[in-house]
Amino acid sequence: MLHEGGPGFKTIQQDVRSFSQTLFDSLAMAAEAFLMRLKSSALMDKFLLMMDQS
């Protein structure tokens, strides 16, 4: 078992943090690209119309 504060624990924590940061960055980029594509499509217009009506 690794004990918190041990030398092995810190590196694992850093690895997990950098991994989740990379994962989050790529997810954010994918979502941004998806939204940009959505904005330029007629689907977005329909969606906005539906939002206005409610």
pLDDT digits (tens, 9 = 90+) for 4-51: 666 677 888 899 999 999 999 999 999 999 888 877 787 778 888 888
pLDDT at 31: 93
Domain ranges, ordered by start, for the chain: 27-54
pTM: 0.48
Residue 54 DSSP one-character state: -
Work out the number of other CB atoms within 10 angstroms of the CB of residue 9: 13
pLDDT at 36: 86
